[in-house]
Amino acid sequence: MTPFFSPSPIAHPAIPIDIAGANTGLAHLASEVCDGVHAHPLRSARSLREVLRPHIAAGAAAAGREPSACVSTGSALVMTSHDTKVLRFHTNLSCCAGMPCWGALGEELSRVAAQQRWAEMSSLVDDTMGTTCVVEADPADLPTALCERYEGLLDRGALDMPFIPGERDAFWRHLTTARNGK
């Protein structure tokens, strides 16, 4: 191989390997052989507690590892205003919900998505999915609401909302400093 394609050793060769864990088999596999698992954004706190975490523990045990060796990460769907709520319901919820834990609804959303009938999807999503999977709070209360929902269930989290430098700087500063106690 030419030198161009043969990189020299890097300073940090232990690059973490994570996989997405939308089902129990992937969560089990991730905790056996990976450094982390990324939970699907529409996993409820109950699903994280009763399904994902036990499969992480089981996979780690099967491999002789501690469950903490597999970092769990999730994206939190958040709403901080009514306008955001409408937008989230019509986009993220309907498009992400086609997964087995939502039963018949997930199957129907998957079928409609496969047929690319996007406009139809949002009419299939109801308030139950929203209150189960979306953290809704005033911006000032969002850090507390996120902790209440995910503490002990996820090791790391991300918000499913855009960060645009220079926009909402006070919101982002509050969100990060409130959690870190600064």
Question: Which amino acid is it at 158?
Answer: A
**Between the CA of residue 3 and those of 8, 9, 12, 38, 39, what are the distances in Å?**
9, 13, 20, 35, 39
Q: Residue 23 contacts by C-beta under 8 Å, 6 or more apart in sequence?
A: 99, 100
Q: Looking at the structure, do residues 71 and 98 belong to the same domain, yes or no?
A: no
Does residue 64 contact residue 33 with C-beta atoms inside 8 Å?
no
What pLDDT does residue 101 have? 60
pLDDT at 147 over 80: yes
Mark whether 102 and 135 lie in a shared domain.
Answer: yes
Please tell me which residue, 43 or 1, carries the higher pLDDT value.
43
Specify whether 145 is located in the same domain as 88: yes
Provide φ and ψ at 169, rounded to 5°. Answer: -60, -40
Average pLDDT, the chain: 81
Residue 182's pLDDT is 44
Mean pLDDT of 144-164: 88
Q: pLDDT tens across 110-139, in order?
A: 888 788 887 777 777 777 777 777 888 888
**Assigned domain for 9 exists:** no
Task: Using the structure block, give the residue that is written with the tokens 């909302």.
Answer: 161
Q: Are residues 86 and 146 in the same domain?
A: yes
> Could you tell me if residue 70 is inside a domain?
yes
Whether residue 172 lies inside any domain: the answer is: no
User: Residue 104's domain spans which residues?
Assistant: 77-150
Residue 158 lies in a domain: no
Both tokens of residue 129? 């999915």
**32 with 50, same domain?**
yes
Count of domains in the chain? Answer: 2
> Does residue 150 register a pLDDT over 80?
yes
Which of 146, 147, 144, 109 is CA-nearest to residue 129? 109
Same domain? For 43 and 92 the reply is no
pLDDT digits (tens, 9 = 90+) for 50-96: 988 999 999 999 999 999 999 999 988 888 875 555 555 545 565 56
The answer to whether residue 111 is domain-embedded is yes
Please report where in the chains the tokens 């209150």 appear, as a residue: 131
Please check whether residues 83 and 96 belong to one and the same domain. yes
Q: Single out the residue in 33, 58, 75 at which a domain terminates.
A: 75
